[in-house]
Amino acid sequence: MISVALDGPAGAGKSTLAKRVAKHFNFIYVDTGALYRSIGLFTQRNNVASKDLTKVTELLPLIKLEMKYDNDGIQRMFLNGEDVTDDIRLPEVSTYASDVSAMLPVRDFLLSMQQNMAKKYNVIMDGRDIGTVVLPNADLKIFITASPETRAKRRFIELKEKDIDTTFEEVLSEMIKRDKNDSERDIAPLKAAEDAIILDTTNLDFEQSFEALCKLVSDIKW
């Protein structure tokens, strides 16, 4: 099986690019951020503070997560049978996702699920610590990034297209906060693996970024 680890900060374009590249190579796309966002959403819905380790841990046995794929190969996220694909992208869920993802019980809860996917399929998996923790032996590790302003602009456009009411300033502020939380946490912080290839897309459009990623995947010795 071939595994591609794609890490990077929020709004770097990981998910959109990974979906397109996965479809191009007929790989399975695994959005690990959606898993943490789903736990964050469940935590929020149960009125548990995002940093309350004890109560968040108590919620885990009540959570059943499933990844399904529609006819276009797009990943849909199901939380206890409910399709929450759109709900987990709301700005207020980002803080919850960042906080719960820093908890060891949550990471342990999801680790085997992620690693089993890579054992069964050719995968492109994106997240914050795929190359460093989840798939340390991945065939290819890429750290994709862009300036905070560029990433916030991309996320803002994405949210507006989904008719989600927010402002660019709110998205940028949330993104900077998320970057800080993800990079400074003690458990599996956001960072590039030592053997990762850095791809900065600040000055690249989508097609240029896609072509760059495809070239890297094509260079893998299959």
pLDDT reading at 128 higher than 70: yes
Which range among 8-12, 185-189, 205-209 shows the weakest confidence by mean pLDDT?
185-189
Mean pLDDT, residues 62-86 = 89
Cα separation of 194 and 128, whole Å? 14
Cα separations (Å) of 198 from 59, 83, 131, 147, 194?
36, 33, 12, 13, 10
Cα separations (Å) of 31 from 19, 48, 163?
9, 24, 22
Residue 169: pLDDT band (50, 70, 90) is very high
Percent of the residues in the chain that have a pLDDT greater than 90, as a whole number: 64
Beta bridge partners of 191: none
33-46 per-position pLDDT tens digit:
899 999 999 999 99
CATH of region 3-216: 3.40.50.300
Q: Produce one character per residue of 1-34: b if its CB has 16 or more CB atoms within 10 Å, e if not.
A: ebbbbbbbbbbbbbbebbbbbbeebebbbbbbbb
The pLDDT of residue 96 is 93
Residue 214: pLDDT band (50, 70, 90) is very high
The residue type of 210 is: F
Strand order in the sheet with 82-83: 65-69, 75-79, 82-83
Residues 6 or more apart in contact with residue 18 via CB below 8 angstroms: 6, 29, 31, 124, 125, 126
The pLDDT of residue 91 is 83
The pLDDT of residue 113 is 86
144-168 per-position pLDDT tens digit:
999 999 999 988 998 889 888 899 9
Domain segments of the chain as ranges? 3-216
Residue 204: pLDDT band (50, 70, 90) is very high
* H or E element at residue 75: strand 75-79
The pLDDT of residue 222 is 66
The pLDDT of residue 73 is 67
Percent of the residues in the chain that have a pLDDT greater than 70, as a whole number: 99
Q: Produce one character per residue of 93-119: b if its CB has 16 or more CB atoms within 10 Å, e if not.
A: bbbbbbbbbbbeebbebbeeebeebbe
* Predicted TM-score (pTM) of this structure: 0.76
Alpha carbon 132 to its chain's center: 14
Report how far apart the first and last C-alpha atoms of the chain are (Å, whole number).
9
The pLDDT of residue 108 is 92
92-114 per-position pLDDT tens digit:
898 899 899 889 999 999 998 89
Cα separation of 110 and 65, whole Å? 9
